[in-house]
Amino acid sequence: MRRVFVFVGLTVSLCLGSVAVGQQPTGRGRGGGRGTPIQAGEACPPGTTEIRPRSCMAPELPAPSIVDYRPHSTLVTPVHMVKTAKYPAIDFHGHPQGLLGTPEGLASMGASLDSLNVRMMISADNMSGDRLKNTITSIRGSEKMKDRVRVLAGIDFRNVGPGWAQKAVAQLEADVAAGAVGIGEISKSFGLSIKKPDGSRLKIDDPELDPIWDAAARLKLPVFIHTADPQEFFQPIDYSNERWLELALFGDRRYPQDRFPSFETLMTERDNLFRRHPKTTFVAAHLGWHANDLARLGKMFDEMPNLYSEVGAVLYDIGRQPRGAHDFFVKYQDRILFGKDSFQPEEYPYYWRVFETRDDYFDYYRNYHAFWKLYGIDLPDSVLKKVYYANAEKITRWIPR
Ligand SMILES: [Zn+2]
């Protein structure tokens, strides 16, 4: 077997005019002649790429930057665009923000949601007090939208210390009385940057916060929480970082490790919180930032029956592993909720296409998120129904069925 392999390899090398292993490059054959040899396991020098085993070469033409390189795929395969969801969806991770405050805003949002088959928008805009009341009054004033928008209550994590919990629980109870159906979105600043009055970082599992999580359990409110950010945002910004372009574009997504806690520190604190409050229902936003490691999220689901998760803004990771993601969604079909995050109506159909089709190799809506294409994960109807609406209905009281 080994001899055959060597023979075939040699033939290919000869046909392509390459340099045999161990020889110094000579002349300018087709492609191989200018190769710079490297050792096994060594990377090619900057500006060159590996053209044959252990031989690197620079392009003859000036290389475009990654910003300008936009190759058009020549792949021809069946295309199934999905403009409207197959089943009426609940967007658990909504940020309609200003649209909820006026009849015109609500009407325009309603028209967009109709065209997408999104039945219900859960506003995760971290509202409380008068702002929450005014928003709910505005929603209730809309004949068309009054049963199609619900609002989560925000928690104010400033000044956590003696007396904080009592005030926070009282405010939460008032917000629930005003019509809030859950808590959220607890933002990533909780853990990353919010400080206690003594200047120390407020840790996600700080025991002073326990009364608010217990109140959530007592009031049967799901807690929608966004912790940290993609793990690459905590890594050095070098050319092996998958999110180099995004980090180069948006400075506020960089978490230099001399100024911010590590990704793993935040995950540990978050998981401590979930474990310590088994009667509280938590919904980890963005698949807990483990969409690139679904086995890790699966272990969390196995260990923590009070944990749910939501798919907003991580479609690039779901769609690049169609077989693994399919199996994961089937296995954990009772734990995953649909959510979109930033409200851009034209982006929802990408989610429908990934969830509902078997399409191959299609574009994602944000190039800077992902240097790769997406594939449909072809979920069965029974799973689609749970992800699109049934799981959200199950954990959220007071949403119209
Ligand atoms: Zn959000």
Ligand 1 centre to CA of 286 (Å) is 9
**pLDDT of res. 216:** 98
Ligand 1 centre to CA of 94 (Å) is 7
Ligand 1 centre to CA of 381 (Å) is 27
Ligand 1 centre to CA of 341 (Å) is 5
Angle (nearest 5°) at CA 202 between 197 and 208: 85
Ligand 1 centre to CA of 203 (Å) is 20
Instruction: Give the type of residue at 49.
Output: T
Q: What DSSP state is assigned to residue 228? A: S
Ligand 1 centre to CA of 285 (Å) is 8
**pLDDT of res. 75:** 97
Bridge partners of residue 307, in order along the sequence: 282
Closest CA to 52 of 76, 30, 78: 30
pTM of the model: 0.91
* Cα(310)–Cα(10) distance, integer angstroms: 51
Q: 13-20: which pairs have CB atoms within 8 A and are 24 or more residues apart?
A: 13/52, 16/52, 18/51, 18/52, 18/55, 19/52, 19/55
* Cα(125)–Cα(93) distance, integer angstroms: 9
Ligand 1 centre to CA of 400 (Å) is 22
Ligand 1 centre to CA of 152 (Å) is 12
Ligand 1 centre to CA of 337 (Å) is 14
Ligand 1 centre to CA of 122 (Å) is 11
User: Do 206 and 200 meet the contact criterion of CB atoms below 8 Å apart?
Assistant: no
Ligand 1 centre to CA of 248 (Å) is 22
Ligand 1 centre to CA of 97 (Å) is 11
Ligand 1 centre to CA of 329 (Å) is 21
Ligand 1 centre to CA of 93 (Å) is 6
Rg (CA), the chain: 25
* Cα(133)–Cα(64) distance, integer angstroms: 53
Ligand 1 centre to CA of 297 (Å) is 19
User: Do 227 and 289 meet the contact criterion of CB atoms below 8 Å apart?
Assistant: yes
Ligand 1 centre to CA of 151 (Å) is 13
Ligand 1 centre to CA of 184 (Å) is 9
Ligand 1 centre to CA of 30 (Å) is 52
**pLDDT of res. 23:** 39
Q: What is the pLDDT of residues 279-302, one digit of tens each?
A: 999 999 999 999 999 999 999 999
Residue 42 token pair? 């060594």
* Cα(158)–Cα(231) distance, integer angstroms: 26
Ligand 1 centre to CA of 291 (Å) is 16
Ligand 1 centre to CA of 363 (Å) is 23
Residue 380 token pair? 């069965």
Collapsed DSSP state (helix, strand, coil) of residue 133: helix
**What is the b/e burial string over 173-189, where b = at least 16 CB atoms within 10 angstroms of the residue's CB?**
eebbebbbbbbbbbbbe
**pLDDT of res. 397:** 80
Ligand 1 centre to CA of 312 (Å) is 8
Ligand 1 centre to CA of 125 (Å) is 7
Ligand 1 centre to CA of 224 (Å) is 9
Ligand 1 centre to CA of 85 (Å) is 21
Ligand 1 centre to CA of 14 (Å) is 56
**pLDDT of res. 400:** 83
Bridge partners of residue 339, in order along the sequence: none
Ligand 1 centre to CA of 342 (Å) is 7
Q: What is the pLDDT of residues 121-144, one digit of tens each?
A: 999 999 999 999 999 999 999 999
Ligand 1 centre to CA of 243 (Å) is 19
Question: Within the chain, which residues score under 50 in pLDDT?
Answer: 1-32
